[in-house]
């Protein structure tokens, strides 16, 4: 029998999670086999379980989870920049052999990065999914605002002194969007969160903080005291119908609203405003070059502190701890941290 590992599987569409045994896969060309030390949880994981959303997962039993950090065990053909023993983080895929909620996974080398010695597996596991959503939302020519990535050769001071509003700055996606906005030169960087997270969002680089409970009108009035320049980019990390309405209220003519969930606001011809649903997932043909170039920067960004990973909370009970963690995410009980599981601690 091939070597086995423990995995948390979703038994069927909208079914339950169960601890199970699976074979450890072998890496194909361009892939790595990674022993997972830390796997972070994302809201999409409970949404897939509850609703089977968007057909992202088509085969059951399914292994979920997309945020991976671990140690390279085996290197597939053609991979030159990684070796056995490297500490890495990666963006998983909605395919059982490339998912996070298990003890071993394959990763795609192009969407894997080395973890600098300054970061732990836990902090590194918080990066992939939310950073990709921030990258594509701001810089994607497809599913994004199409801004010039500040790390490319053609980049100049494109967004310098332009304001940006990022709703939900203490969320994982919001935190990375703030940090990229700073890299792009936006100013002021205005964000919303609970008052208890004001210090956190300022650490990420927000220059102005407002309480998430302000109405659209109140927020607009407050922002008008910070800048008189038109707000042409609003990134709504939360994208619930109510935050989309706030974002729409703030957005100037010809501006772009970036959303992490489908649009509930209606684009208007007269004002030329766009609402774009982004999708941070590198395993699709759209934005391929952008993903390759951003993933090539991740190790440097982390080691130089350009990108600071999220704060995290480690869940008890290995893979089984994920079940309760997802429930907490669903109930909105997680604030300013990413939940992280340790698959190797599974009993």
Ligand X SMILES: NC(=O)c1ccc[n+]([C@@H]2O[C@H](COP(=O)([O-])OP(=O)(O)OC[C@H]3O[C@@H](n4cnc5c(N)ncnc54)[C@H](OP(=O)(O)O)[C@@H]3O)[C@@H](O)[C@H]2O)c1
Residues of this chain that bind ligand X (CB under 6 A): 42-44, 129-130, 133, 167-168, 170-173, 192-194, 197, 212, 237-238, 243, 260-261, 278-280, 329, 334-336
DSSP state of 154: T
| Ramachandran region, residue 55 (left: φ > 0; alpha: ψ -120 to 50; beta: rest) | left
Between 260 and 346, CB nearer to ligand X: 260
User: Nearest distance from residue 155's CB to ligand X, in Å?
Assistant: 23
User: Nearest distance from residue 227's CB to ligand X, in Å?
Assistant: 20
User: Nearest distance from residue 119's CB to ligand X, in Å?
Assistant: 19
DSSP states of 260-277: SS---S--BTTTTBEEEE
Between 82 and 111, CB nearer to ligand X: 111
Dist. CA 110–CA 93, nearest whole Å: 13
Between 25 and 149, CB nearer to ligand X: 149
Residues 6+ away with beta carbon under 8 Å from 333? none
First to last CA, the chain: 21
User: Nearest distance from residue 149's CB to ligand X, in Å?
Assistant: 17
User: Nearest distance from residue 241's CB to ligand X, in Å?
Assistant: 10
Q: Which residue has the tokens 């004002």?
A: 271
Dist. CA 118–CA 137, nearest whole Å: 28
User: Nearest distance from residue 95's CB to ligand X, in Å?
Assistant: 17
Task: Report residue 211 as tokens.
Answer: 């309480």
Q: How many CA atoms lie within 13 A of 220 on its CB side?
A: 13
Between 32 and 206, CB nearer to ligand X: 206
Between 72 and 234, CB nearer to ligand X: 234
Between 13 and 330, CB nearer to ligand X: 330
Task: Report residue 175 as tokens.
Answer: 């935190």
């Amino acid at each position: 029998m091939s070597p086995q590992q423990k995995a948390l599987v979703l038994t069927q569409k909208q079914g339950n999670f169960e601890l199970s045994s699976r074979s450890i896969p072998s890496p194909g060309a361009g892939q790595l086999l990674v022993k997972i030390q830390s796997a972070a949880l994302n809201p999409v994981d409970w949404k897939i379980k509850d609703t089977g959303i968007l057909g992202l997962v088509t085969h059951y039993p399914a292994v979920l989870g997309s945020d991976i950090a671990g140690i390279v065990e085996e290197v597939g053909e053609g991979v030159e920049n990684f070796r056995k023993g490297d500490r890495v983080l990666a963006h998983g895929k909605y395919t059982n052999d490339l998912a996070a909620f298990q003890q071993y996974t394959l990763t795609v080398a192009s969407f894997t990065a080395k973890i600098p010695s300054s970061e732990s597996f836990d902090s590194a596991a918080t990066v992939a999914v939310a950073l990709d959503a921030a990258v594509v939302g701001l810089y994607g020519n497809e599913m994004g605002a199409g801004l010039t990535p500040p790390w490319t050769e053609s980049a100049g001071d494109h967004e310098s002194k332009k304001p940006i509003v990022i709703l939900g700055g203490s969320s994982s996606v919001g935190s990375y969007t703030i940090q990229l906005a700073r890299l792009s030169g936006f100013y002021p960087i205005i964000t919303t969160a609970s008052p208890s997270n004001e210090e956190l969002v300022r650490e990420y680089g927000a220059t102005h903080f407002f309480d998430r409970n302000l109405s659209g009108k109140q927020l607009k009035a407050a922002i008008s005291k910070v800048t008189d320049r038109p707000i042409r980019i609003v990134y709504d990390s939360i994208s619930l119908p109510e935050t989309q309405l706030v974002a729409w209220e703030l957005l100037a003519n010809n501006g772009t609203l970036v959303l992490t969930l489908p649009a509930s606001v209606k684009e208007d011809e007269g004002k030329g405003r766009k609402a774009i649903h982004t999708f941070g997932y590198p395993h699709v043909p759209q934005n391929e070059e952008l993903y390759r170039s951003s993933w090539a920067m991740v190790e440097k960004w982390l080691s130089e502190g350009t990108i600071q990973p999220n704060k995290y909370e480690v869940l008890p009970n290995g893979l089984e701890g994920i079940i309760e963690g997802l429930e907490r995410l669903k109930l909105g009980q997680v604030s300013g941290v990413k939940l992280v599981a340790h698959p190797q601690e599974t009993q």
